[in-house]
Amino acid sequence: MYIVGIAGGSGSGKTTFAKKVQRQLDDTHSQILSMDSYYLHEQPAELRTKKGNPNFDHPGAFDWELLNEHIADLKAGKPVNCPVYDFKTNSRKSEFTQIQPTTIVLFEGIFALFDKSIRELLDIKCFLHVDSDIRFTRRLHRDVNERGRSLESVINQYYETVRPMYLKYLDPQKQFADFTVGEETDVASEILASRLRDFL
C-alpha cells in the first residue's frame, strides 16, 4: 500500500490534481480518498464564529479519530466504510461508501499533512500552493454552482474563516511536504504518476 497525501487550501485544485494523477495510472491499482468525507456530523459549538457560523476550515471540524483509523486500516490492507458528507445540509448522510484497499491511495484534503500520525503513514507528501485570488474564485464558482450557496454567504465565509484559517493552519503544512505544486499541475501530475508507475 502506497499512500500519497495531497494538501492545500480550499480551491487549490487538490481533487483535480488527484484525478489527473489517477488518470495516468491503472484504475484497478489506485483510488482517491477525500478528507471532505470526514467532516463531523455536527460542528463543535466552540468553533463557531462571533456571528455564530460554523468554521469548516479549522482542524477541529474533522473526525480525526475515524480518519486515522481508516487510513491505518487501508495501509494494513483492510477495507473501510467511508462516510458520505452532504455539503448542502452540512451533515453526514446515513449511507457510506466502502473503499477497498488498492496498491495506491491518493489522499486529498485541506489538512492532509496536518496530523503527525497520518503523516507517518504517507509515502509521498504534496502541497498545492496556489494564489489566494485563484483559490477564492474557484471556491466561489464551486460553492454557488455545486453546493447551493449564495454569493454573499461564500464571500462572508471567506473573510470570516477561510482566509484566517489558511494563514494559521493550512499554509504551514508546506514544511512537511516532499514537494510543492503551483497552479499549473499537468507536469507535476505526470512526474508523480511516473513515480507511482515505477512503484506499481
Q: Is the pTM of this model over 0.85?
A: yes
pLDDT at 28: 77
**Annotated domain spans of the chain:** 2-193
pLDDT digit of tens for each residue in the chain (200 aa)? 899 999 999 999 999 999 999 999 976 789 999 999 999 999 999 999 988 989 999 999 999 999 999 999 999 999 999 999 998 888 999 999 999 989 999 999 999 999 999 999 999 999 999 999 989 898 888 888 888 888 898 899 999 999 999 999 999 999 999 999 988 899 999 999 999 998 88
How many whole angstroms separate alpha carbon 18 and alpha carbon 32? 7
| pLDDT for the residue 172 | 97
Burial class from Cβ neighbours inside 10 Å (0-12, 13-18, 19+) for residue 174 reads middle
The span from the CA of 14 to the CA of 125, in Å, is 12
pLDDT at 27: 66
Cα-Cα end-to-end distance for the chain: 10
For residues 133 and 9, what is the distance between their CA atoms, to the nearest angstrom? 12
Residue 86, C-beta contacts closer than 8 angstroms, at least 6 positions apart: 92, 93
- Over the range 50-72, which residues count as b (16 or more CB within 10 Å of their CB) and which as e? eeeebbbbbbebbbbebbeebbe
- Please state, in angstroms and rounded to a whole number, the distance separating the CA atoms of residues 108 and 5: 6
- DSSP character at residue 120: T
Which residue in the block uniquely carries the three cell numbers 484534503?
Answer: 109
Nearest residue to 70 (alpha-carbon basis) of 46, 110, 105? 105
CATH class of 2-193: alpha beta
Residue 199 CA to residue 156 CA, distance in Å, equals 44
